Amino acid sequence: MKTKKQNNSHIYWNPYFGGFLLGIIIIFTFYLTGRGLGASGAVKSTVVTIVDQVAPTHAENNTYYSQFLKDDDTPMNTWLVFEALGVIIGAFISGSLSGRIRWRIQHSPKISSKRRLVFALLGGVLFGLGAQIARGCTSGAALSGMAVLSSGGFITMLAIFGSAFATAYFFRKNWI
């Protein structure tokens, strides 16, 4: 039994333990920097940088991009980008310790890989759009917002999970 467990790379931490550590990390983040965690901000910075490289004048004329453009610095030099890099490093360390690293597409046996990728793309587009409208994603708005009892954080959290539960039925084939 024991050896079997060790070989199985899909034994994850107890969720309460993970949640407890995550909570401690959030406390430390607030204690050190006065701000919460985030993830989608890094992707936003990347997009702004790419657009700025490809079409500088267009980026400057756009009201949204121009908010993040500085004359003397790249938009990549922000806290969230470094944090996102850390997330990738940390996940890589954790994944390699448990032997989970390999190229693959994870999907329900009922659907094809292609369908999974199409839905992943669709979900990504929607999430990217929503995260910009709500000024934060699950980690930035909901989790860090809730840690300081921000009203916006609670509203975002309820909206995300409410609509996800409401629409889950239509996507059931993808997952179950």
Partner 1 sequence: MNKKNIAKILSFRYMLMATVLIILAGGLLLLPKHQKQEGITSETLLSHAISNERYISTDQISHKIINGDPSFILVDVRDEKSYQTYSLPNAINIPLPELFKDAHLEYINQDQFDVVFFSNDNFHADQAWLLCDRLGFKNLRVLQGGLNTWFTTIINPSIPSEDQPLEDFERYKTRKAASMYFGVTYPDQDIDNNLTVPKPTPKKIITVQKKKKRVAEGGC
Partner 2 sequence: MGPLLPNGFIPFEWDSIIAIIIGIAFGFVLESSGFSSSRKLAGVFYGYDFAVLKVFFTAAAVSVIGIYYMDYLGYLDITQLYIHPTYLWGAIIGGVIMGVGFVAGGFCPGTSLCAVAIGKLDAWVYVFGIMIGVFLFSELFPLFEPIYDGYFLGNITLIDSFGWNPYWIIFIFAIIAVVSFVIADIIRKRVKKVFYE
* Residue 115 contacts partner 2 per CB under 8 A: no
Binding mask of the shown chain, residues 117 to 146, with x at each position contacting partner 1 by CB under 8 A: --------------x---xxx-xxx--x--
Instruction: Tell me which of 38, 48, 49, 81 binds partner 1, using CB under 8 A.
Output: 38
Least distance in Å: CB of 126 to partner 2?
3
Instruction: Please state, in angstroms and rounded to a whole number, the distance separating the CA atoms of residues 132 and 77.
Output: 19
Instruction: Tell me which of 55, 70, 103, 112 binds partner 2, using CB under 8 A.
Output: 103
Least distance in Å: CB of 66 to partner 1?
16
Check if the beta carbon of residue 146 is closer than 8 Å to that of residue 153: yes
Least distance in Å: CB of 159 to partner 2?
2
Check if the beta carbon of residue 38 is closer than 8 Å to that of residue 144: yes
Nearer Cβ to partner 1 (74/132): 132
Instruction: Tell me which of 27, 53, 56, 61 binds partner 2, using CB under 8 A.
Output: 27
Binding mask of the shown chain, residues 145 to 164, with x at each position contacting partner 2 by CB under 8 A: xxxxxxxxxxxxxxxxxxxx
* Residue 75 contacts partner 1 per CB under 8 A: no
CA dihedral (168, 170, 171, 174) positive or negative: positive
The token duo for 96 is 């390699």
Nearer Cβ to partner 1 (16/169): 16
Which phi and psi (to 5°) does residue 37 adopt? -80, 175
CA dihedral (25, 13, 38, 133) positive or negative: negative
Instruction: Please state, in angstroms and rounded to a whole number, the distance separating the CA atoms of residues 40 and 138.
Output: 9
Interacting residues with partner 1 (CB under 8 A): 16, 33-41, 80, 131, 135-137, 139-141, 144
